[in-house]
A = this chain, B = another copy of it.
């Protein structure tokens, strides 16, 4: 049995569910994978809690939004102080996405990598802003950086691209990467005008109160950048992606697509070019009904890999709540230690 000391930053939707998964799956993690995982520190916005023997996971999973500082932790202690103080093997970064600065995730990930901890994060901010730097930092320190939850939640999007398309040249990646836009296009196809469709998506919960990151394409851009960097080995940045949003679409335009038997989807795409590079784009696209993305429900995420060796492989996930995304942290950890 290998002892693994873990640190977690963030006890929101993903972090608290991940703690719950660690708690419920303790036995199988030990028996099947030979790991005795102890959460030796956790930090949230209010403070942090440390215990070198391992914190009580059930207690942490049940905090329901209250800070650890109110019970087992101390107020005002930051994750950077925690990372300085503890001796740990792996760091889980699950704070909210910040696309301007990547913080507080970016600094914490840097600190953990420098202290030779493996890092697992579903946080798109640091990855979109500093993928190359973090990848190099992990390499220099002999540790791994995993982020399968950052690209389509619980779907093993990155794993399929990295591990299953062995030896292949990927010719095209296409993805339904953004739930809000899928949902809005679907509703507009049913006759709603754009503004109504946005409100419907917000009411459904798949679109943020400020919809601009979704409808202007930024969310899809970020996921595509992470996918391109991790699977295609690129050093792509946000500016490298040709971006078209959905704000200019009219119900008439959407209806015309449907009328000719085609399906309008919001597609993130990487296309292999003759010179070996990839063209990256996000845009609404008309798909043939036989296209693997065409049949995806508006609340699914999916990816299609076309390669020279493995034909056309598609994969999709329906997540009714964030447990699959949270479980991707478990998947990444096991993958590091296997």
Interface residues of A (CB under 8 A from B): 21, 25, 28-29, 32-33, 154-156, 159-160, 163-168, 290, 292, 294-295, 297, 309-320, 323-324, 327, 330-331, 334-335
Contact = CB atoms under 8 A, between A and B. Distances in A.
A315 B314 contact: yes
B311 A323 contact: yes
Contacts of A167: 21, 25, 28-29, 32-33, 327, 330-331, 334
B164 A331 contact: yes
Contacts of A25: 167, 309
A165 B334 CA distance: 11
A310 B154 contact: yes
Contacts of A312: 317-318
Given A160-B315, A311-B317, A311-B320, 12 more contacts: A33-B166, A33-B167, A154-B311, A156-B164, A156-B313, A163-B335, A166-B331, A167-B334, A168-B327, A294-B295, A310-B324, A312-B318
A278 B282 CA distance: 42
Nearest to A296: B295
- Chain multiplicity (copies): 2
A65 to B, nearest CB: 22
Contacts of A290: 297
A181 to B, nearest CB: 19
B164 A313 contact: no
A316 B313 contact: yes
B335 A316 contact: no
Contacts of A168: 327
A117 to B, nearest CB: 20
Nearest to A22: B167
Contact of A334 (B166, B319, B323): B166
Contacts of A315: 160, 313-316
A310 B328 CA distance: 8
Contact of A313 (B29, B165, B313, B317): B317
Contacts of A311: 154, 317-320, 323-324
A233 to B, nearest CB: 9
Nearest to A169: B28
A33 B33 CA distance: 25
Contacts of A327: 166-168, 309-310
A309 B323 contact: yes
For A165, A166, A292, A334, the residue with the greatest tally of chain B CB atoms inside 10 Å of its CB is A166
17 contacts: A21-B309, A25-B167, A29-B167, A154-B311, A156-B160, A156-B163, A156-B313, A160-B160, A166-B330, A166-B334, A310-B317, A312-B317, A313-B317, A314-B315, A314-B317, A315-B315, A315-B316
A334 B168 CA distance: 12
